């Protein structure tokens, strides 16, 4: 996917004049002497500013997670249907989002394509819940801990346009653990419920990140990509 040739100048990146020391020297950079490292430095800086703004906004940490209800089958003397209702969900730890390496940049006649891998963690999802099994009902507290989250981001910037987010996708959740407190007499369904809730939490965490966080990230990317003062012209 990232095999396009560097063809020509097709975008103006912006950066604060006072921060020019963050970038490689422009001395000697011409159309005949491409500077791929320059593209990377500028895009790294842009994404770092977006991540900083998003993380410090207070809008994603904590993040409210929607209520959900899941039915499952478990063995309680005999196989029976049970239900877990989850509410008051909160997701914390997303402010730890960071780049895990340099951005990958490709320049072509249609604009600049950018890809960056992000990491976040530890992340915790906490719910209040109610587990129902036949005539029994038990209020519980459920925690789901994720050691590390991997996110892939793709964006494009057409000539004379602001950066546009094309992809913001959770690729992997690592070290997922679920703890259920308060099952009491329903402790016999703990193992089955843990398996069910692990899947539920993975789905809900992905959904929260790929919807709520993506929206804010997209807004800040367009905003910062178009308003940072002064210009740094990348020649290629």
Q: Report yes or no on 6 lying in a domain.
A: no
CB 118 within 8 A of CB 150: yes
Three-state DSSP state, 38: helix
Q: Report yes or no on 144 lying in a domain.
A: yes
Q: Report yes or no on 2 lying in a domain.
A: no
Residue-wise pLDDT tens for the chain (236 aa)?
A: 443 333 222 333 333 333 333 333 434 434 444 455 677 888 888 899 999 999 999 999 999 998 999 888 877 666 778 889 999 999 999 999 999 999 998 877 777 889 999 999 999 999 999 999 888 899 999 999 999 999 999 999 887 788 899 999 999 999 999 999 999 888 888 888 898 889 989 998 999 899 999 999 999 999 988 644 333 333 33
Question: pTM score, two decimals?
Answer: 0.77
Using alpha carbons only, what angle is made at residue 14 by residues 109 and 209, rounded to the nearest 5 degrees? 85
Domain total in the chain: 1
Q: Report yes or no on 5 lying in a domain.
A: no
Q: Report yes or no on 46 lying in a domain.
A: yes
CATH number of the domain enclosing 64: 3.15.10.50
Q: Report yes or no on 3 lying in a domain.
A: no
Domain that holds residue 45: 12-233
Q: Report yes or no on 146 lying in a domain.
A: yes
Q: Report yes or no on 72 lying in a domain.
A: yes
């Amino acid at each position: 996917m990232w095999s396009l040739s560097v063809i020509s100048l097709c975008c103006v990146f912006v950066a604060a004049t006072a921060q020019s020391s963050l970038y490689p020297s422009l001395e000697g950079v011409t159309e005949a002497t491409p500077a791929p490292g320059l593209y990377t430095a500028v895009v790294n800086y842009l994404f770092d500013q977006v991540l900083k703004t998003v993380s410090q906004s207070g809008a994603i940490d904590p993040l409210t997670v929607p209520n959900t209800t899941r039915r499952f089958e478990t063995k309680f003397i005999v196989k029976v249907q049970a239900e877990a209702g989850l509410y008051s969900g909160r997701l914390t730890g997303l402010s730890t989002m960071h780049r895990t390496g340099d951005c990958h940049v490709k320049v072509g006649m249609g604009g600049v394509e950018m890809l960056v891998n992000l990491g976040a963690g530890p992340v915790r999802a906490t719910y209040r819940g109610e587990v129902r099994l036949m005539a029994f009902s038990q209020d519980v507290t459920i925690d789901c801990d994720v050691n590390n989250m991997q996110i892939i981001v793709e964006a494009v910037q057409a000539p004379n346009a602001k950066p546009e987010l094309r992809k913001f996708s959770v690729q992997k959740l690592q070290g997922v653990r679920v703890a259920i407190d308060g099952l009491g007499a329903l402790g016999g369904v703990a193992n089955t419920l843990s398996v069910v809730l692990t899947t539920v939490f993975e789905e809900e965490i992905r959904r929260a990140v790929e919807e709520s966080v993506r929206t804010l990230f997209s807004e800040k990317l367009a905003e910062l990509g178009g308003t940072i003062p002064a210009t740094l012209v990348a020649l290629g």
